[in-house]
Chain A
Amino acid sequence: MKNKFKDNSQLIQLLQQVDKLLTLSPFADRQCNFMEICGTHTVSILKYGFRNYFKKRINFLSGPGCPVCVTSQKDIDKVISLAQMGVRIATFGDLIKVPGSKSSLEEQMALGKEVNVVYNPLDCLKIADETDEEVVFIAVGFETTIPVIASLILDAKKLRIENLSILPLMKTIPTALNFLLTNLENEIDGFICPGHVSVIIGERPYKIIPEKYGIPCVIAGFEPVDIGLAIESLVSQIRKHTPIVDNRYKRVVKEKGNISARRLIEEVFEKTDVEWRGFGEVPASGLKLREKFSKFDAEKKFNINVKSSPEPEGCICGEVIAGKKQPVECPLFAKKCTPDTPIGPCMVSYEGACSAFYKYGEE
């Protein structure tokens, strides 16, 4: 399939239009603050140069959109503690280098602990089947990943796999956005809503944002054309004072989302309060296993004893996630904290704002 989304002539015209609009009222004398919620949007915005293109007129803020980055220090310590107990850890690759308060999974691997990187959580079924050891999948993720994790639990139950469990660290996006707007001080002029979370949850959960807070939202994909159209939507909405949830990723985001996927989530999980890095505890923003699946809960299966621990000294990952600061404002950025020697999770994950800033360096 020839990808027309890769054609740049019309896009360049569009951006020139937007740039012109941004010199007119009501933008003339100020910068817009647009927050992107998905880490892949952060990467696209930097990689394709949107940040530099609109440098003077738009301030792009990275929100709580990278599942690894929003995981609290305490939860990372739980993961390390499980590895130290000698259970076999199965995880997405990004988590391996994230430093806990005393160690990282990478260090545990060097010490001989078993850590398996999986691409598809269902791979854990095979891993558990081939060993007698206890296997724990580190279940980080948002709505996009959660149906997959639910499938893992259902399959494990059906196949009667006894030596597999998950450490539930899943989080839900709309609750976090609501929390961000109610509890944290910021001046956000528009949200670029996460493309693939929206594939699952649809348009509706964002409606409260324009309706209650008057802030425009746009659901966007990840190609340069998608990002360009998203920016144009937010700028037009502000100009016309008509904040809505504009869906510009209709090719995969349906109004009602993916109902089958949400049914799977419902079947396996229920809401619970969880801690986010940068936010603290957010009511009903996470998921735990329903009672009938509780034997798959690693927290219940193993005696994980981890004290609450402070975030690394000097690290501002929490403020970056909350949209209060940019990675370059961190005293550690590109000095003490680099992808080789990460101090906070935002420098580790591919989706992390700091890693993206480092890799797609700004002028």
Chain B
Amino acid sequence: MVPDDREKIEEKVCLAVPYRIISKHGIKAVADVFGIRKEIDIRILDDVNVNDYVLVHAGFAIQKLDQEAAKTTLDLLREISEEQI
């Protein structure tokens, strides 16, 4: 098979899986998602630290994942699903 770069990446624009920051240096950081490590740009996030989970779009971290809020969403799911109509 001769490599064909054209078909290589069928990018999803809105990947929802958060990456974990492993190390940071200036406006760049290395992040991990399921064992896959990538360099990402963190310039549009204030105050990112190692071990934070971030949402990545086109190579940029665009927001930190608020784990407390994630838990609230799951609580909401539990509440509504157990509600009696």
- On A, residues with C-beta under 8 Å from B are 1, 4-5, 10-11, 13-14, 17, 20-21, 38-40, 43, 66-67, 92-94, 96, 106, 109, 115, 117, 119-123, 141, 144-145, 147-148, 151, 194-196, 199-200, 221-223, 225-226, 228-229, 232, 248-254, 258, 260-261, 264, 350-351
Contacts and interface: CB of A to CB of B under 8 A. Distances in A.
B60 A195 contact: no
Interface residues of B, number: 42
Contacts of A141: 13
The 6 closest A-B pairs by CB, nearest first: A120-B59, A40-B14, A13-B81, A250-B69, A222-B16, A14-B81
Interface string B1-42: 000011011111110101010000000000000000000010
Nearest to B43: A151
A106 B57 contact: no
Contact of B66 (A109, A251, A261, A264): A251
Given A151-B41, A151-B43, A351-B12, A200 B59 contact: no
Contacts of B80: 14, 17, 229, 232
Given A148-B59, A261-B62, A350 B81 contact: no
A356 to B, nearest CB: 11
Contacts of A93: 6, 8-11
Contact of A196 (B9, B62, B69): B62
A120 B60 contact: yes
Nearest to B12: A350
Given A250-B72, A350-B11, A144 B62 contact: yes
B77 interface: yes
A199 B54 CA distance: 12
B58 interface: yes
